Amino acid sequence: MQNRHSWLQRAHQSNVRNHCRITHKAHFPDNLHGLYSTRFSANGEMVVVGFGSGGVQIRNGTTGELKATLKSGLETSMPIMCCRFNPVRRDVFYASSACGTIFMCDTRTKEFSRFIFEPDNEVNTIDVSITGDYLVSGGKDAVVRLYDIESTKLILMYKKDEESLMENRVNFHRMRIFASRFHDVYPDLIITGGWDDTVRIWDIRVPSGSARVIKGPHICGDAIDIRETHILTGSWVVRDSLQLWDLTSAKLIDTINPQNRSSTLNGEFLYVAHYFNGDPSSDLVVIGGSGTGMVEVISLKQKKVMGSFNVSKPIFTIDSCRSVIVFGGMESAITFGDYS
């Protein structure tokens, strides 16, 4: 019966033109323990990658060819969970680790140093403001931290406390944070999400707590993105995983269930959801996870899968630069594809 379901799914999708094609696939050793994070440079010429072993590499942005190893992974090391370039100092990127350290890396000089250490924390997510002034972090301890990039000083913490929990004033995250985004226009706004089934909107000019809260999304990976007043979320849930929210009201705009995708016996379970960089209209998004067996490019307006890449193992990380998409996860390979 399961085989018949898979056959029907393939048959249904074969009637839809697939705009995606794999262009390169770069394999890496199994002892790197999977690909947990990846990020294109601004011009797309390089991609930085972080592994489950704690390793950090720079690779060619088209072929995946190894250019430099900035940090070698060890069997006992913790995964590199997130990588982000500085929008102003474009040779510099930051990499956060489940060991609690945020590293600063220079792609030109190949220098690698510790930016900050958060004791007893696992830093699952970081982001850098559009001005390059601030870095935000979130992780296991449910605290949203804001750092001054120039001085590395901690300038703001959004942290739960016993008093607010007793009075049921939930202005902070209560469980692990897995995604964070600065607004792409307004550097004072941050959006975060995690295991507590909330996405929170923070205004760093207001230190008392989240300005607004979206209730519902169960975020377990890099699955929040923003364009103007729209927030995109991808939840690790069986169905209704891809949703669009209004920034100003924190209300649901739409749940995107593609009309041309058959339901899967394995559910959806998204780990990552991003707007597609090659679409200036912000209609196309790229998603992946552990349920559908695909990395998909989806039209929000048409509610259709416009293209897909078949995958055999869970996907933890996706990025795009113009028409190129890079992705990976538990398979020991970095895959590059094209959407046209």
* pLDDT score at 179: 98
Confidence band of 265 (pLDDT split at 50, 70, 90): confident
Confidence band of 76 (pLDDT split at 50, 70, 90): low
Find tokens 């690909």 and name the residue.
35
Structural tokens at position 268? 């959806």
Three-state secondary structure of 140-184: CCCCEEEEECCCCCEEEEECCCHHHHHCCCCCCCCCCEEEEEECC
* pLDDT score at 9: 45
CA–CA separation, 101 and 115 (whole Å): 8
Segment holding 4, helix H or strand E? helix 2-13
Confidence band of 262 (pLDDT split at 50, 70, 90): confident
Q: Report helix, strand or coil for 332.
A: coil
Q: What is the pLDDT of residues 87-121, one digit of tens each?
A: 999 999 999 999 999 999 999 999 999 999 999 99
Q: What is the pLDDT of residues 163-219, one digit of tens each?
A: 655 555 679 999 999 999 999 999 999 999 999 999 999 999 999 999 999 999 999
Q: Which fold has domain 20-339?
A: Methylamine Dehydrogenase; Chain H (2.130.10)
* pLDDT score at 161: 75
Residue ranges covered by each domain of the chain? 20-339
Residue 6 has pLDDT above 70, yes or no: no
Residue 14 has pLDDT above 70, yes or no: no
Mean pLDDT on 234-263: 95
Q: Contacts from 226-230 at CB under 8 Å and sequence distance 24+?
A: 226/181, 226/183, 226/184, 226/191, 227/184, 227/275, 227/282, 228/184, 228/185, 228/282, 230/282
Residue 5 has pLDDT above 50, yes or no: no
The proportion of the chain whose per-residue pLDDT surpasses 90, expressed as a percent, equals 88
Indicate if the alpha-carbon torsion angle 76, 78, 83, 89 is positive or negative. Answer: negative
* pLDDT score at 17: 78
pTM: 0.93
Mean pLDDT on 131-136: 98
Residue 61 has pLDDT above 50, yes or no: yes
112 — phi, psi (to 5°)?
-140, 120
* pLDDT score at 180: 98
* pLDDT score at 7: 39
* pLDDT score at 240: 96
67 — phi, psi (to 5°)?
-105, -40
